[in-house]
Structures are given as C-alpha cells and as structure tokens.
Chains A and B, each alone.
Chain A
C-alpha cells in the first residue's frame, strides 16, 4: 500500500527480506497453526473430514455464513486500525474491549432515545453510530490525558479503563433506570430492548439471507483513509515523529501531548464505532456478553499487522472467517470452538517468533 517506502537499489536485498517477512512468514505461520489444529482434532477422536467440512461450511459455506464472517471481520478491522494508529505514536492501546463496550452502550442509548427512530435521511442510525464512536473515543482519550498529565502508562490505563467500561455495560443492562428492558415477568432477560428498525445499520443486499451491513464499505473507506493519513498527512507524520522520539518531536515544536491524546481518541473512536456497528448491524439489543472478545482479538490483529493497514485487513479477514468456522465446528462436529483460540494463539506466537528472528538477523 501507500506506506511502503521507496528504497534505493543498494538495499534491495533488505527489501526482499522485508517482503519475505511481511508476506511469507504470516502465511507459513497460519498454515503451520492450522496443521497443529488438525492434529488436535484428530487427537480428540473426531473425524477430520467432519471437522473440516463443518469449519468450511461455517466460514464460507453459504451467502449467510460469508456475510456473518465479513461482519465479524469488520469489527476486528476497526479495532485493529485503531491499534495501528495509536502504535504509530508509540502507544499500545489494549483497551479495545472497553471501547467497544462504551460504543455499544451509548449507541444503544441513542437508538432507544425518544424520537431517534423518526429522524429522516438515515440520521436515525448515523447519530447512534457517531455517538458510539465518540463514547469510545473519549474512553481512549482519558488514557491519553492520564499519560500526558501524570505519565501513566497507557497499557495499564487502557486495560483498567476496559474493566470499568465492561462493568458499566453490565450495570446498564441490569438496571431498569438505565438500559434494561422493562421487567414484565421473572423471565425477563437482563438486556436492553431491541432497537427500532430505522436505527439499525442497513444491510447491503437488503436481505437477511446475506446480512452484510453497510459497516463493510464504511470500514473499507476508513481503512483507506487511515492508510493515507498515516503515510501522507501532517498528522500522520507528527504521530510518527512522536513515536520515534517524543523529546526531539517536542523540541521541534510538535504538540506531543495533543498528539498522544488525539491518537488514543482516534483508536478509541474506532473501537467505539466497532461496538456501535456490532449493536446496530448484528445484535440489535445490548446484552452482558456484548463485546465477546472482539476488543482483544482486534488488538491481536493490530499487533500482527506490524504497523500496516493492509496487514490489519488481512488479519481481520482471517480471524473473522476463523471465528465463524470455529462456531460451526463446535455445533456440527462437537469440536470445542476453543480450538480456534488455540490456533489463533499459535499464529500469534509463530509470527511474533519469526519476527524476532528476522529482526535479529537484520540487526547484524
């Protein structure tokens, strides 16, 4: 993509090595991890054929399953893009889960707000999306503010803010004063009312047989914009300078504090947007288990992408489809979907390990 720098011919071999590192290693790692997964399936005594066909069916088997996989990828990609933007400024945002929760809570509140459903021009679903994004953004910006003002490490603060956000989510679905649906019987679940149809993110095809939402094109646009901003804008340049050397950046007149807060705001906002899209495009009502680990999986996607938006897209697609396949494998072939978690972990470890050896090799 646009962020690959141009190299003079002298160091071309290094570029090849870089290409190898960026493309070949992830592929090898994924294949190896899947092989280990297959061995685990065999060890469980499940027929390989059944497991694989269940996996493939769940991931790509029908228009419905492809759509579901893509929707999952959208959430992962948004969180991953945010992670990469913050990483450009040398920041590690591990608070995706909480940012998703804040996005979901505020989007729900806005969707259920009186009069929202009647707004024209699609505002009925756009306002909750924007509101969710801002809520997530504020959640990220708090960590940025703490870092600038008190020097608090953002790894710690984003993680702890995540726990607070998740408990806020529990609280809002447990309390009728907040978002819990009115209790009509003892069987009323602790979740919000379903959001009105007009506040839902519209489906691309208009049919629930292939429920890809407009979240997908939105994410593609955001990914392209992020790649351009990071590689070509003044803002992206300043983030890069801050990430490499905050002292020199400050001395040269770059507003380091504002850069840190903004980077974490943007990262949080993308997490919040992911939450809003999940709620308004897929789940339609807020439940306690709303985040379902997308924040942490998105973080892993961002980590694996090693600072490249292209990498985020690839990783988000892979993990999105794997999640769908894993769920189907559990239902159809009674292979625990935790196996997918194991495979994801294997991929992470092998890519991180390969990167370590590759970096060490080039340092010599």
Chain B
C-alpha cells in the first residue's frame, strides 16, 4: 500500500525532511508498587509529526501519556524536551513547558456556553466574550475545527465536545499535544474529521501523540508508530502504512514474532481428552442476531450469530474494542442486548439477571477481575463461595467450619495458593485470584457453558497454563466454552475454532490451527481475503 492511498483525502504528510526530536524518553520506566507498568521505554516524539501509540489494554499507553503530562513521575529513566531535562511535577508544570493533553473524559461544564468553558481560568477582569470568541474561532478554523462559541455545551454531541477540549489545548499554542484514545468515544463519521485535525496540528509544527488501538486510524494519520506491549516498546515504525502486518503481529503476539509462539505456557498443555459422544452434540450456547447500541448511539455489536456445542471451545479473536467486551457483558447478564436473543443450554437468557444465568449452568470469568469477578475486601474462602453461601447454612447461619473445608478442597483442586482460606482476597497474586475465580465458576452447579473473557490477562506463564488446563478439562466434560482473548497464540493453542470480531461483526471464522495464523491476523485488521 502506498502512502498516498493511506492518507486519502487528507493533506499528505509533510515532506520527510529530517525530523527534529522534540521530546525524547530514554530508559523510562514506571512502577506502581510491585507492578511494573512501563519499563525501559526509548521514544522520540518529533515536531511536525503525528506519533501513534498502539497497544492492547494494559499495555502502558495511558501510563506513558501520564508521565509526559506530569500526572505521574517516572521511577527510572530521563525525559528531555529539546535539549533541557524535562521532569514535570504536575500537569500545570507540563503545560508551562508547552505540553497539552486531551483526556478520554472531558472536563467541561455542561450548563455553560462553549466560550465560557474555553475561558475559564484564563482571564481576569472584564470579559469581552465577543472579541474572545472571534479570536478563538479564528484559531479553531485554522485547524479545521468547527466551533459554535455560544452554544451550551450540554446540547452538543460528544464529537463537538471533544473539539472544545482540543481547542482548549490549542489555545495554549502547545509544542506537544497528547490525545488519549480520542476516537474511542466518537461516532464513525466523526473519526475522520478528528484525524484530519490531528494532521493539521502536526503540520503546524506541533508534535502530536495519539493513543489508539485501531489500525485503520494509524494508516490515516500516523507518521510514526510505537507498539507497546506489557509495558515495553516492542516495535517502532517510521512507515506505518507499509508495516501494517508487522504492527498487527507485534501487537497481538506474545513475543513479537510469529515463529516463537511455543514458549508462553500453552505449549505444555496436556492433550484434549473429550468425553466420548455419539451423534450430534447438543448446543451449549446460542447467540441469535445479537446487536448492542451504546448510550452515545454507537453500534458496538452488529447482528452477531454464533452457536457453541457442548464440549467445544470457540475463540473470539479481534483487536480490542471491536465488540468483544460488549458481548462478554451481555452474556454475563451485566448489560442487555439492544436486539436479538441468546440461549444457554436451550433456555432463553436474553433478559435474564446474572443470578438466573448462573442458575442455568453458565459460568462466567469476567474481563475485570477486580471490579466484577471478586470482592477484594472479603476473604479467599468467601470469594470462592460468593453467591452460594446458602450451601453452608444451618438454620440461616453459616457453618464456618464447613465453609473452610469446602474452600480448602477447592484450593487444592484448583491449585490456589494462599497462606490460608481466610486471607484477604486482595493480598493474593493475580494468578491465584484468577484461579480462585475459575474454581468458583467451574464448579457452578450443572455447568453447561463457560464464558471466559481475557482469563489470562496479567498472569505469569505458570498461571496461564493452569487456567487453560482447567478450561480444557471443563470442555472435556462437555461444557461449551466461549474464550475471548487478545492473545491470538493462546486462542490458536486452546480453541477448536476461532471467530474474528471486527467493528462489532463476526468478519470470519477459521479452525484454530497455526496454519491459519496469518489469515486470522488479516481478518483482525479488517481485511477479508
């Protein structure tokens, strides 16, 4: 693909004179307690260029932005702005150095007009709204931003509000503008005009840093791309539109290359040992034409139809943000589909509450271990029995001894390691927390279907292997499994077949064999071969 085609309809990127590094990061790392969010980052952001940070959730993109904008301070490494050391103590300090940031969440006062929002904190004394509005509108027009200064913010669309935030930053004439996932909240038709704005800002001489995990946007806007993965920069590209396939691979594969997918835990999995079965297998789960429109009107799921039979593991592949989370949330009973229906073991679950879904024999390993799957303040034993304490009740009171014994049994069976079953859940390691969640969900009475959303996220290799061993054992005992993951290699190793999500649709389906790896990778970037 040539460059002209990649940025169709947009002024071509500035001629590639030698780029001048504006901000350089060398060896920058950030730890939060034991957790290393970023390590050893070397990046240069150049003036006149748009630099995209690409990566899955938790890859460290936002942390990197927060370091540059002074919200957090790096625990190692140095940053240099032009030739001076740059160590902003807080956002105000960063702004003083000409660094501005558009956050994912807007900080606007909905009841006030646009112009007031823009001038808050910037003016003293007499306020001449008209004159200011003219000045600001001129500035906005310069960058192709449409602005209605006297509209009330609350009446505007999300895209228009984002424009206000961008203008707010541009008013400071920044040298470096950071946009944290600016397109995540936008309607598809608003995205292109935002990308145009980014290009114009870059051409005006500013360095633009944009976080995204959407490949199509990179092709349109980026001069340079850095792929982050697990807190490290795993790939750089100065010609992103030519390197698209390599970027996809760097983003989704554990070691950055296609060849070495054998050493991350799933290779040591024991072979499947399915229970013998004759004739066609009954359906464990069925999704029928499911769609979901979110509160700002974006269609996140678009007519998804999928059937999983008993004993089958179906993998959901896709770059994050293509509808997988919404599907997981609907199947967990935490949100309701806008249209369409779904069934667990033949029973309709479309409008069911989580309790009814569990009662129908559905186990759920939610995407968010801390917010949805467990309660950190309670003990391990309590989390293992969350929602089924009734089992240990004698005359309404919990038989603690009984409960502890049941917890120890589960801990042994699922290899949950903790000082004892009364330890606070939040003190366990991520792997042990996840194994505990699995222990609970896989022992759901009469389990027929298991939803596992990113079950290995943030886990070490040993824990990953354990998690997948348990999931496959469940499938061997005739449970149907829907496995959502951003780790293509894991899906290939664990699933029977893989469906690929792109923009809320199932764009294709392939048997899970490493021969189909490249094909699936293409599907993930939206290309149907």
- Measured CB to CB, the residues of A under 8 A from B are 6, 8, 228, 232-235, 237-238, 240-241, 244-245, 247-255
Known: A251-B333, A254-B355, A254-B387. A244 touches B372 (CB 8 A): no
Complex: A332 Cα to B168 Cα, angstroms:
68
Known: A251-B354, A254-B387. A244 touches B377 (CB 8 A): yes
A16 CB to nearest chain B CB (Å): 18
Residue B375 at the chain A interface, CB threshold 8 Å:
yes
8 Å CB contact of B372 from A232, A233, A234, A251: A251
Residues of chain B lying within 8 A (CB to CB) of residue A232: 397-398, 400
Main secondary structure of the interface of A (DSSP, over half): helix
| B422 in contact with A249 (CB, 8 Å) | no
Residue B366 at the chain A interface, CB threshold 8 Å:
yes
Residue B262 at the chain A interface, CB threshold 8 Å:
no
Residue B378 at the chain A interface, CB threshold 8 Å:
yes
| B371 in contact with A237 (CB, 8 Å) | no
Residues of chain B lying within 8 A (CB to CB) of residue A250: 334, 353-355
| B332, B358, B378, B382 — most chain A CB neighbours (10 Å) | B378
| B378 in contact with A238 (CB, 8 Å) | no
What are 12 A-B contacts with C-beta separation under 8 Å?
A: A234-B397, A234-B398, A237-B398, A241-B382, A245-B376, A248-B373, A248-B374, A251-B334, A251-B364, A252-B358, A254-B355, A255-B355
Complex: A253 Cα to B440 Cα, angstroms:
12
Q: Mark B344-362, 1 if CB is under 8 A from A, else 0.
A: 0000000001110011000
Complex: A251 Cα to B366 Cα, angstroms:
9
| B364 in contact with A234 (CB, 8 Å) | no
B384 CB to nearest chain A CB (Å): 10
A155 CB to nearest chain B CB (Å): 22
Residues of chain A lying within 8 A (CB to CB) of residue B419: 8
8 Å CB contact of A240 from B366, B378, B420: B378
Residue B185 at the chain A interface, CB threshold 8 Å:
no
A239 CB to nearest chain B CB (Å): 11
Residue B390 at the chain A interface, CB threshold 8 Å:
yes
Total interface residues in chain B, CB < 8 Å? 34
| B396 in contact with A235 (CB, 8 Å) | yes
A6-B422, A248-B371, A252-B387 given. 6 additional CB < 8 A pairs? Answer: A233-B397, A234-B390, A237-B382, A251-B334, A251-B354, A252-B386
In the A-B complex, the 10 residue pairs with the smallest Cβ-Cβ separation, listed nearest first, are: A253-B387, A252-B387, A252-B386, A253-B355, A253-B358, A234-B389, A245-B375, A232-B397, A244-B377, A244-B375
Residue B5 at the chain A interface, CB threshold 8 Å:
no
Residues of chain B lying within 8 A (CB to CB) of residue A8: 419-420
Chain A, residue nearest B332 (CB):
A251
Residues of chain B lying within 8 A (CB to CB) of residue A248: 371-375, 386
Complex: A152 Cα to B80 Cα, angstroms:
50
A190 CB to nearest chain B CB (Å): 45
Residues of chain B lying within 8 A (CB to CB) of residue A247: 334, 371-372
B188 CB to nearest chain A CB (Å): 30
- Measured CB to CB, the residues of B under 8 A from A are 332-334, 353-355, 358-359, 364, 366, 371-378, 382, 386-390, 392-393, 396-398, 400, 419-420, 422, 440
Chain A, residue nearest B422 (CB):
A6
8 Å CB contact of A241 from B332, B355, B372, B386: B386
Complex: A233 Cα to B333 Cα, angstroms:
27
Residues of chain A lying within 8 A (CB to CB) of residue B375: 241, 244-245, 248-249
8 Å CB contact of A253 from B354, B373, B377: B354
Complex: A248 Cα to B386 Cα, angstroms:
9
Residues of chain A lying within 8 A (CB to CB) of residue B364: 251
Residues of chain A lying within 8 A (CB to CB) of residue B358: 252-253
B419 CB to nearest chain A CB (Å): 7
8 Å CB contact of B386 from A6, A233, A249, A255: A249
Residues of chain A lying within 8 A (CB to CB) of residue B354: 250-253
Residues of chain A lying within 8 A (CB to CB) of residue B374: 248
Residues of chain B lying within 8 A (CB to CB) of residue A254: 355, 386-387
Complex: A339 Cα to B397 Cα, angstroms:
45
A299 CB to nearest chain B CB (Å): 24
| A253 in contact with B366 (CB, 8 Å) | no
Residues of chain B lying within 8 A (CB to CB) of residue A238: 389
Complex: A8 Cα to B377 Cα, angstroms:
16
| B333, B375, B377, B422 — most chain A CB neighbours (10 Å) | B375
A80 CB to nearest chain B CB (Å): 23
Known: A234-B389, A255-B355. A241 touches B396 (CB 8 A): no
Chain B, residue nearest A6 (CB):
B422
A88 CB to nearest chain B CB (Å): 12
Residues of chain A lying within 8 A (CB to CB) of residue B392: 234
A149 CB to nearest chain B CB (Å): 14
A189 CB to nearest chain B CB (Å): 47
| A233 in contact with B396 (CB, 8 Å) | yes
Residues of chain B lying within 8 A (CB to CB) of residue A241: 375, 378, 382, 386
Chain A, residue nearest B441 (CB):
A252
Chain A, residue nearest B356 (CB):
A253
Chain B, residue nearest A250 (CB):
B354
Known: A6-B422, A248-B372, A253-B354. A234 touches B377 (CB 8 A): no
Complex: A238 Cα to B375 Cα, angstroms:
12
Complex: A253 Cα to B393 Cα, angstroms:
16
Residues of chain A lying within 8 A (CB to CB) of residue B372: 247-248, 251
Complex: A8 Cα to B424 Cα, angstroms:
11
Residues of chain B lying within 8 A (CB to CB) of residue A255: 355
Complex: A8 Cα to B427 Cα, angstroms:
13
Complex: A8 Cα to B380 Cα, angstroms:
14
8 Å CB contact of B378 from A228, A234, A244: A244
Complex: A237 Cα to B377 Cα, angstroms:
12
Known: A245-B371, A248-B373. A228 touches B397 (CB 8 A): yes
Complex: A253 Cα to B355 Cα, angstroms:
4
Residues of chain B lying within 8 A (CB to CB) of residue A253: 354-355, 358-359, 386-388
Chain B, residue nearest A258 (CB):
B355
| B389 in contact with A237 (CB, 8 Å) | yes
| A8, A235, A237, A251 — most chain B CB neighbours (10 Å) | A251
Complex: A232 Cα to B402 Cα, angstroms:
13
Residues of chain A lying within 8 A (CB to CB) of residue B398: 232-234, 237
Residues of chain B lying within 8 A (CB to CB) of residue A251: 332-334, 354, 364, 366, 372-373
Complex: A238 Cα to B390 Cα, angstroms:
10
Chain A, residue nearest B444 (CB):
A253
B420 CB to nearest chain A CB (Å): 8
Residues of chain B lying within 8 A (CB to CB) of residue A228: 397
B347 CB to nearest chain A CB (Å): 16
Complex: A241 Cα to B358 Cα, angstroms:
17
| B387 in contact with A234 (CB, 8 Å) | no
Complex: A253 Cα to B362 Cα, angstroms:
11
Chain A, residue nearest B386 (CB):
A252
Residues of chain B lying within 8 A (CB to CB) of residue A234: 389-390, 392-393, 396-398
Complex: A8 Cα to B375 Cα, angstroms:
20
| A241, A248, A249 — most chain B CB neighbours (10 Å) | A248
A257 CB to nearest chain B CB (Å): 9
Chain A, residue nearest B377 (CB):
A244
Residues of chain B lying within 8 A (CB to CB) of residue A249: 375, 386-387
Complex: A4 Cα to B166 Cα, angstroms:
53
Residues of chain A lying within 8 A (CB to CB) of residue B378: 240-241, 244
Complex: A251 Cα to B376 Cα, angstroms:
15
Residues of chain A lying within 8 A (CB to CB) of residue B359: 253
Residues of chain B lying within 8 A (CB to CB) of residue A233: 393, 396-398
Residues of chain A lying within 8 A (CB to CB) of residue B332: 251
Complex: A251 Cα to B333 Cα, angstroms:
7
Residues of chain A lying within 8 A (CB to CB) of residue B397: 228, 232-234
Complex: A219 Cα to B216 Cα, angstroms:
68
Residues of chain B lying within 8 A (CB to CB) of residue A240: 378
Complex: A248 Cα to B366 Cα, angstroms:
10
A70 CB to nearest chain B CB (Å): 30
